[in-house]
Amino acid sequence: MIPELGQFALILALLLSAAQCVLPILGAQLRNRALIAVARPAVAGQAVFVGLAFAILTFAFVTQDFSVAYVAQNSNSVLPWYYRFTAVWGAHEGSMLLWVLVLNLWTVAVAAFSRRLPDDFIARVLGVLGFISFGFLLFMVLTSNPFLRELPMPADGNDLNPVLQDPGMIVHPPMLYMGFVGFSVAFAFAIAALLGGNLDVAWVRWARPWTNVAWSFLTLGIALGSWWAYYELGWGGWWFWDPVENSSFMPWLVGTALIHSQAVTEKRGSFRAWTLLLAIFAFSLSLLGTFLVRSGVLTSVHSFAADPKRGLFILSFLAIVIGGSLLLYALRAPKVAGGEPFAAASRETLLLVNNLMFTVAAAMVLLGTLFPMIGDAFDLGRISVGPPYFGFMFVLLMLPVVLLLPFGPFVKWRSGDFKAAFRHLRPVLLLPFALLLAAWLRGGDLSAWGRAYWGVAASLWVGLGIVLYALHRWRTLPRGRRYTPEMLGMICAHFGVALFLAGVLVVEATSVEKDVRLAPNQSVTIGTLAFRFDGVKEAQGPNFRAQQGTVSVLEGDRVVATLQPQKRVYARNQQPQTESAIDPGLFRDIYVALGEPVGDDGAWAVRVYVKPFVRWIWLGALFMMFGGLLAAADRRFRRLPEGAPAPADANTTTATGVAGATA
Amino acid sequence: MNARLLPLAGFLLVLALLGFGIWWSGTHDLREVPSPLIGKPAPTFSLPLLDDPSKSLGSKELAGKPYLLNVFASWCVACRDEHPILMREGKRLGIRLVGFNYKDPADDARRWLAQYGNPYDDIVADLPGDVAIDFGVTGAPETFLVDADGIVRYKYISPITPQVIATELLPRIAKLQQGAK
C-alpha cells in the first residue's frame, strides 16, 4: 500500500509541476496577477509531494520491502543500515528521484529568496524550473517508476553495487546533483530574461551567488568523486577521463566560464550574450551529462537498445529544452545583448580569453566523450579516444589560462595596462624561472621528469601572483574596502588553482608505482621506504568476505605505517572488489593494493605506490569550493541598488540596467 | 546567416548524433562489421612480448595452429567490460588466446593485468600501433580469429559477449579444428 502512495505522490507532483510551468508563464505574458500568484504555492505543493515520494522510497529500503522491484534489485537483507539510505540513489530510478528532489529544493529556495525581484520575472523563472521538473517527473512516471512491484515477492534482494558500498559514495551523488541542478537557476534566469525580452543587470547580480553556490557544490562533488575513485578503484589514479567523469566535468568547465562572465555582466554590463549563452550551455551539459550517465548510452553498448522508450524520451526532452532555449536565444538575444565597449588591454579581454578557453575545453571533452558514437556514424567502428587525447588537449587549452590568470586582477576594467601589471608581477615571475634554471643547471631533464618542475613553477606563478595581489590591495586601499567577501573568494579560489596545479604535476611526474610479486616476509623498497608483506588472512565483513593482506612500511627500523589492503567478495556478487589501504599525508600518500594470488607459497601480486603531493589536488578543489561560497556570501548581492527600477512591465530599457550596475 | 543561430546548429548536430546512436544500437547488430581481411591472410608481423620485450612473437611462430587475437589496452573502458568474460571463458575456447596490447605503455598494461587477471596465453605489445594499422584495427577491443594457415576467419568489434562466444566463435573454432584433422 505505502509504495503505491509514493507513486501517487509522484503523479500529483507531476500535475503540480505542469501547473507551475504553464500558469505563471502565461500570467507573465498576459500580465494577469492571479495566474502569476499561482507560482509560489505550486512550488511548495510540488516540493511536498516529491519529498513524500522520496521519503516513501527510503522507507521501503529501510524496512526492506522486497516486493518493490527497485528495492529488491539494489539491496538485500544483510546490507548495513546506513547503506540502505544511500541505496535509494544507487541505480537509475532512484537517482532520477534524487535529481527531482534536489531540483525542488533549489526551486523552493528561489521562491523563498526572490521576494524583491519583479513578480512577472520570477513567475517566468519558476515556470521554467517547473517545466524541467515536469520533464523529469514525466520520465519517471512513464519509463522509470521506482515504485513498481515485483510479485511474487522475492525472498531476498539482490545487492547494492559493491563499488557503491562506501562512505564516499554516500555524499558524492547528492553534492554532484546539487551542482548540476543548481545551474538550472542561472538557466531559468536566462530563459526568463529572453522570454521577457529584457536583461536587467540587477537580476544578474541577484543570480550570481546562486551560480557560485551551484558551482561550489559541483566542484566538491567532482573532487569527492575523484577522491573516491582514487581509493576505491585500487588504481591510484585520480582522474580517468571516462564518460561518467566527463559528464560532470563538462558542466563544471562551462560553469567556470559562466561565473566569470556573470561577474563581467553584473559589474560592467558587457558580455550579456555570453552570460545568457553560457547559462544555457552549463545547464544543457548538466542535462546531457545526467542522461548520458543514466541512459548508459556510452558506457555500455546495449543499454539504449534495452529500453528504447527511455532513450527516445530522453532525446525528445533534450531536444525540447536545449533546442528550444537555443532557438529562443537566436531569436531574442539581439534584443537583450549589447554592452559597454572595452579596450584590447582590459580585464574584459582577459575574461573573454577565460570564457573562450573553458568553453572550447568543454567542447573538446564533449567531442571526445561522444567519439565512440561518431565512430559508429561514419562506420569506423566503436573507438575510444582515451586519456592521451584528453590529457594533451586539456593541458594545451589550459596553458593560456594559467599564464594569464595572475594578470587578471591587476589589469583594470575597460582599459587596463598590461605593462603595469607585468611590473607588479615581475618578482614572482623570477622565482619560477630561477627554479627552472636551477633544475636545468643541475642536469635535470625538463621534458619528462621535469614536469614536476614545470608544475611547481606554474603553481608558484599563480599562487604567488595572487598573494601579491592580496598584498597590493592591502597597501593601496583603505581599511574596509580591501577585502570584500567577493574579493576574498576570488583570491581563495585562484589560490586553489595553484595548489591543484602543484598537486597534479608533481604527482604525475614523481609518483613511484611498483607491481611486484611478494611472498610473505619479502620486501620491496621505494626510495627510503621498505614495504614488508606479512601475508594474507581471511577477514569477515558485515556482508562480505575478504582476503586481507598486511603490509608494514618501514623507514630504517621505524614502522611508518601498517596497511591492510583487502580483496572483497560480496555475498551476491562474485566479482572481487579491491579495497586499497592508504597512509595519507600532506606531502605523500603511501598506497597499497592487492592484485591476484600467485603461486602456492602464499605470494600475491601487490601494487605499491608512493604518491607525493596527491592530496593537494583535492585540497586545491576545496579552496576553489570555499572561494565560490565566500564570494556568494557577499552582502552586495542581496542589496538591490538604490532606485533600481522594479519593472512591472517588462520594457525597462537596457540602458538603465547598465547604469544601475555601474553605480 | 545569423551568427546567433550557430549554437543551435551545433546542438542539432549533437542531437542528430544521439538520435543516430539510438537508432543504430536498436537496429544494428554489432557483429555485422565486415572486414576486408576476412578470408585473406593476416598481415605478417613480429612484435615484442609484453612481459619480455627482448623476445618476440609473430605470424611465423603462430602459424600452424589457429589462434584468437584480442586487441586490448588499459586505457580502454570497454575492455574492462570484456575482461571478466575472457577470464571466465578464455580457457573454454580451446585455442591459443593472444593478447594484442594496443598503444599502451607496458607498465600500465602490466598493472591492468595484475588487477584484473591475465586470460592470455601470450601478449604482444604494439606501442606505436603500426601492426594494428595493418590489421585494420579501429579501436579497442577487437578480436580476430586466425586459422592454421594464417587466414583471418572472423573479426568482432567491441566487447565480446558470452553469446558471441557461443554462437559465433565456438562453432567456427570447432570447424577449424575439424578441418585440421
CATH of the domain at B53: 3.40.30.10
Least confident piece of the model among A370-384, A473-487, A567-581: A370-384
Q: Which of A361, A450, A445 is nearest to A399 (CA)?
A: A361
| B156 vs A236, more confident | B156
Q: Are B16 and B102 within one domain? A: no
Q: DSSP letter string over A614-636?
A: THHHHHHHHHHHHHHHHHHT-GG
DSSP strands (E only) in B110-162: 122-126, 142-146, 152-157
pLDDT of residue B181: 53
Q: Which residues in chain A are contacts of B114 at CB distance < 8 A?
A: 515, 595-596, 605, 607
Count A/B contacts: CB-CB distance under 8 Å: 124
Q: Where are the domains of chain A?
A: 1-165, 514-613
Q: Which residues in chain B are contacts of A591 at CB distance < 8 A?
A: none
Average of pLDDT values for B44-69?
A: 88
Q: Are B52 and B9 within one domain? A: no
| A642 vs A617, more confident | A617
Q: Are B84 and B18 within one domain? A: no
Q: Are B87 and B126 within one domain? A: yes
Q: Are B12 and B97 within one domain? A: no
Residue located via cell numbers 574584459? A348
| Tens digits of residue pLDDT in A130-189 | 999 999 999 999 988 999 988 778 878 877 877 778 887 778 889 999 999 999 999 999
pLDDT of residue A146: 92
Closest residue in A to B137 (Cα–Cα): A381
Name the band, by pLDDT with cuts 50, 70 and 90, for residue B90.
confident
- Min Cα distance B181 → chain A (Å) is 36
Judged by CB atoms closer than 8 Å, whether chains meet at B115 and A607 is answered as: yes
Q: Are B63 and B120 within one domain? A: yes
Q: Are B26 and B43 within one domain? A: no
The minimal CB distance from A381 to the residues B18, B76, B157 is found for B157
Name the band, by pLDDT with cuts 50, 70 and 90, for residue A298.
low
User: Taking the model in full, what pTM does it have?
Assistant: 0.81
The C-alpha torsion from A118 through A124 and A125 to A127, rounded to 10°, is 140
Q: How many domains does chain B have?
A: 2
Judged by CB atoms closer than 8 Å, whether chains meet at B25 and A243 is answered as: no
Give the contacts of A524 (CB within 8 A, at least 6 positions apart): A514, A516, A518, A530, A531, A533, A606, A608
pLDDT beyond 90 at B105:
no
Least confident piece of the model among A283-297, A605-619, B83-97: A283-297
Name the band, by pLDDT with cuts 50, 70 and 90, for residue A192.
very high
Q: Are B1 and B70 within one domain? A: no
Q: Are B25 and B42 within one domain? A: no
Q: Are B111 and B22 within one domain? A: no
| Residue-averaged pLDDT of chain A | 85
pLDDT of residue A483: 87
The minimal CB distance from B139 to the residues A305, A326, A384 is found for A384
Judged by CB atoms closer than 8 Å, whether chains meet at B139 and A299 is answered as: no
Domain holding B68, by residue range, is 36-180
| Tens digits of residue pLDDT in A212-233 | 999 999 999 999 989 988 887 7
Give the Cα separation of A409 and A427 in Å (integer).
16
pLDDT beyond 60 at A647:
no
Q: DSSP letter string over A334-402?
A: HHH-------SSSHHHHHHHHHHHHHHHHHHHHHHHHHHHHHHHTTS-----HHHHHHHHHHHHHHHHH
Give the Cα separation of B136 and B133 in Å (integer).
5
Judged by CB atoms closer than 8 Å, whether chains meet at A329 and B26 is answered as: no
**Residues across chain B:** 181
Give the Cα separation of A270 and A276 in Å (integer).
11
Name the band, by pLDDT with cuts 50, 70 and 90, for residue A381.
low
| Tens digits of residue pLDDT in B4-31 | 888 899 999 888 888 877 777 666 554 4
Q: Are B97 and B161 within one domain? A: yes
Name the band, by pLDDT with cuts 50, 70 and 90, for residue A11.
very high
> What is the CATH number assigned to the segment(s) A1-165?
1.20.120
Name the band, by pLDDT with cuts 50, 70 and 90, for residue A281.
very high
pLDDT beyond 60 at B37:
yes
| A388 vs A35, more confident | A35
Give the Cα separation of A445 and A218 in Å (integer).
37
Predicted ipTM > 0.85: no
Judged by CB atoms closer than 8 Å, whether chains meet at B107 and A234 is answered as: no
Report angle CA A235, A241, A247 to the nearest 5 degrees: 125
Query: Strand A544-555 vs strand A529-540: parallel, antiparallel, or unpaired?
Result: antiparallel
